C-alpha cells in the first residue's frame, strides 16, 4: 500500500463523487445547454465527451468505494 493511500479516509470517496457530480451538473446546465454549444457540433461534441469522462470517473470512484466496503 502506498503512503498516499494510507492517508485516505472513507470520506474521500464520497467527497470526490460529490465534487464530480457538481462539475457534471455545471457542465450540463451551463455549457452543453449554452446556445453556442447547441449550434456548433464540434464544441457540443467536446463538451459531451468531457461529461462522459467525468461520469466514468464518478462511477469508478463509486466502484472503488463499494469494493473497499466489502473487505
Residue 22 located in a structural domain: yes
How many separate domains does the chain show?
1
What DSSP character marks residue 7?
Answer: T
Quick check: 17 and 58 in contact, CB under 8 A?
Answer: yes
Report if residue 62 sits inside a domain. yes
Q: Which domain holds residue 23?
A: 11-70
pLDDT tens digits along 6-28:
688 989 999 999 999 999 999 99
In whole angstroms, what is the distance from residue 27 CA to residue 55 CA? 12
pTM of the entire predicted model: 0.85
- What is the structure's pLDDT at 70? 85
Burial class for 44, CB neighbours closer than 10 Å (0-12, 13-18, 19+): middle
Is 2 a domain residue? no
At residue 8, the pLDDT reads 87
Average pLDDT over the chain, rounded to an integer: 93
Amino acid at each position: 500500500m502506498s503512503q498516499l493511500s494510507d492517508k485516505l479516509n472513507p470520506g474521500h470517496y464520497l467527497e470526490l463523487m460529490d465534487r464530480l457530480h457538481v462539475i457534471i451538473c455545471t457542465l450540463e446546465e451551463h455549457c452543453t445547454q449554452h446556445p453556442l454549444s447547441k449550434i456548433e457540433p464540434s464544441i457540443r461534441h467536446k463538451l459531451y465527451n468531457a461529461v462522459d469522462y467525468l461520469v466514468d470517473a464518478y462511477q469508478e470512484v463509486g466502484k472503488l468505494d463499494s469494493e473497499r466496503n466489502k473487505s
